Amino acid sequence: MAVHTLASTTGSVSLGPATALSCRECGERFDLAPIFACQSCFGPLEAAYDLPTGDPEALRARIEAGPNNIWRYAPLLPVPEDVATKPNLNPGFTKLVKADNLARELGVTGGLHVKDDSGNPTHSFKDRVVAIALEAARAFGFTTLSCSSTGNLAGAVGAAAARAGLRSCVFIPHDLEAGKVVMAAVYGGELVGIEGTYDDVNRFCSELIGDPLGEGWGFVNVNLRPYYAEGSKTLAYEICEQLGWRLPDNLVIPIASGSQLTKIDKGLKELVGLGLVEDRPYKIFGAQAEGCSPVSRAFKDGHDVVRPVKPSTIAKSLAIGNPADGPYVLDICRRTGGAVEDVTDEQVVDAIKLLARTEGIFAETAGGVTVGVLRKLIETGQLDPAAETVVLNTGDGLKTLDAVAPTTGPTATIRPSLDAFRQAGLAG
């Protein structure tokens, strides 16, 4: 297939094992560049690799000897070889928590793990994808790092840009949770609230890229999206490595644009292809909030096309009404024998509290969505409780306090006296 050489001022760049961008629809290949749509069919582009061949044992040993962050997987990512020496937030290698108490409560007997990405530098999974996009931005010579965000991404971009010494200017819907707004602003970059939904913000950013106003800007999830998206593969790598280099039976993954879910599948397939894990079937389950469930709707209706919706849910980090990767998510969940489910806001809150109460993990609303969906999948017989399951928590509950604040608080408020405490009935 012809490799197009682009009339770009960036010149040719080198990003580790990544050799080209390839169209997910027609397969046409392009030089590595800050582009995201196929020039022939307008399909989305993704990174293509020349991955290390040869002895899987040697590769496994090399990975295990690497740093305790995503750069241990640098041989499988579109990043320069010396990536670990550059200023970056170095996210990843977050905890895989064996969740026996939650398993007991949900009736899971085959083993249950929570992959807890609240432990990343800005407390969400987004640090993974931004770290990769940052390397692409450096390679292409961008001086401003930007994004359209449902909240977490804005904070991750602000922090990564601060550390890398780049300017940042990020765009969010004007009505986000206070915790997300503060996190997006505190790193000192520009933060712009847009009067509209995330989908409006994203459309605005696409216009900005095409305009001289946006020149020199790397939008991590727009013109750098093919690189950004690859960061989610590290979740697949880590889960398998932390399980002792093997695949789980089931994964329950949240869906916003659907990028994370599709790239976790890509990462799992790479591990099989490289001989790093044994090939066996696994099922991927997608999780949405009922108030923004276009992919779940399409799954249940048996459609291949995702009809956009106007989001209305407390799970704002997942509130993308027109998910770019929707059709790919449907394909993966169907092909692997998984499903896509959704839960109400009330079930999200219940699930946040369930995870906190059983495992001591305080998840943001997205984690409430995945745990709530896991419970529903078991109750409706869609997920086998005798199989081994990994459920993702992608963000920190401190960013979405409002979701649980109305239904949590002190058991009692008393005068500082033993008498008052006795009367409260809490002794023993």
Ligand X SMILES: *Cc1c(COP(=O)(O)O)cnc(C)c1O
Contacts of 403 by beta carbon, 8 Å cutoff, 6+ apart: 314, 348, 349, 352, 364, 365, 368, 397
What DSSP line would sit under 10-55, residue for residue?
Answer: T----BTTEEEEEETTT--EE-S-S--B-TTT-PBEEEEE-PPPS-
- Please pick, from the candidates 366, 373, 391, 403, the single residue that binds ligand X as defined by CB under 6 A: 366
The helix (run of H) or strand (run of E) holding residue 298 is: helix 294-301
Q: Does 259 bind ligand X (CB under 6 A)?
A: yes
Give the Cα separation of 160 and 13 in Å (integer): 21
Site string for ligand X, 49-88 (x = CB under 6 A): ----------------------------------------
Q: Which of 258, 267, 326, 385 is close enough to bind ligand X by CB under 6 A?
A: 258
**HSE (CB half, 13 Å, CA atoms) of 332?**
29
CB of 346 to ligand X, least distance (A): 19
Residue selected from 148, 317, 322, 389 as contacting ligand X according to rule CB under 6 A: 317
Contact flag: residue 254 with ligand X (CB under 6 A)? yes
User: Measured between alpha carbons, how far is 422 from 85 in angstroms, rounded to an integer?
Assistant: 59
User: Which of 122, 152, 250, 389 lies at the binding interface for ligand X (CB under 6 A)?
Assistant: 152
44 binds ligand X (CB under 6 A): no
Phi and psi at 390, nearest 5°, equal -115, 125
Smaller CB distance to ligand X: residue 19 or 171? 171
Residue 322 found at the interface with ligand X (CB under 6 A):
no
Q: Between 372 and 401, how does the x/- string for binding to ligand X read (CB under 6 A)?
A: ----------------------xx------
Pull the structure tokens for residue 397. 């509950």
**From 123, 126, 225, 266, residue interacting with ligand X (rule: CB under 6 A):** 126
Q: Which is nearer to ligand X, 80 or 397 (CB)?
A: 397
288/318 Cα distance (integer angstroms): 7
Tell me the C-alpha distance between 320 and 177, whole Å.
16
Q: 149: helix, coil or strand? A: coil
239 binds ligand X (CB under 6 A): no
Residue from 133, 220, 239, 256 touching ligand X (CB under 6 A): that is 256
Query: Which parts of this chain interact with ligand X (CB under 6 A)?
Result: 124-126, 152, 254-260, 317-318, 364, 366, 394-395
